[in-house]
Amino acid sequence: MIEMLSHFFQTLWTKAYRQNDANILSLLEPNPKAVVLDVGCGDGQKSQKFKEKIGCSKIFGIDGVSQRLLNAKERDVEIKKTDLEHKWPFPNQFFDVIISNQVIEHIHDLDNFISETKRVLKPGGYAVISTENLSSWHNIFALLLGYQDFSHHLIKKSHVGNPLSPHYGQKTVSWSAAGNSGTDDTAFPHVKIMTLRSLISIFEVYGFKTRKYLGSGYFLSSLDPFHTHFITVKFN
């Protein structure tokens, strides 16, 4: 029974993740002159798609893993190795667009992450932030059963606390080898998972305004983004 449920949740995750990618792209505005930053760019696969949608001539990417950045560089991303917990290596008001997909949940110092986003974003620019949703239906279901929610990683050595997780008992990683050019992601577990309302609130505290939010995963996600698997918010 548990194995069947685990497979069911893996199927839901795959569909939701693809929908979330589409949601992010839908929020990006065509602008050939835009200066764009992909925060936590990984191996640059998504950076390429962002660049194509915006139509800009180049895209910058920052990440803390050298091998990822080398792969991103091969995909024509302007890379800078960066500890996202500290100041980012760009001048004030440098970017027209900032995108961060499935990164903020790995960050301990959210104040630094948000304030740096604010600092390097131009007036009139916008940021698109996407992450997992603490109040997703599958997380609520797990908690009702007395299990750990699916989204948090408690320790690096192994997925524990939720036998329904497709990764239960495996080494804690948040990117598959195939999806991240074979790079081990164990050093950066999920540490802070937010609800949609809390994600909006923490950015608004730093002066951002919410332009639009979307959810992915589950039937009628457009009507109830507050309980979907992934949440994406566009701020300016």
User: Domain with 218 in it: what CATH number?
Assistant: 3.40.50.150
Domain presence at residue 213: yes
CB 35 within 8 A of CB 56: yes
Domain presence at residue 57: yes
Rounded Cα distance, 229 and 103, in Å? 15
Quote the domain boundaries for residue 211: 2-137+166-235
Domain presence at residue 156: no
Task: Give the closest residue to 105 by CA, choosing from 195, 210, 227, 221.
Answer: 195
Question: Which two structure tokens, joined as six digits, stand for 156?
Answer: 């690096």
Domain presence at residue 144: no
Q: Total structural domains in the chain?
A: 1
pLDDT in tens, the chain (236 residues): 767 766 676 777 788 999 999 999 999 999 999 999 999 999 999 999 999 999 999 999 999 989 899 999 999 999 999 999 999 999 999 999 999 999 999 999 999 999 999 999 999 999 999 999 999 999 999 999 999 999 999 988 888 999 998 888 888 765 555 555 555 666 788 999 999 999 999 999 999 999 999 999 988 888 999 999 999 999 99
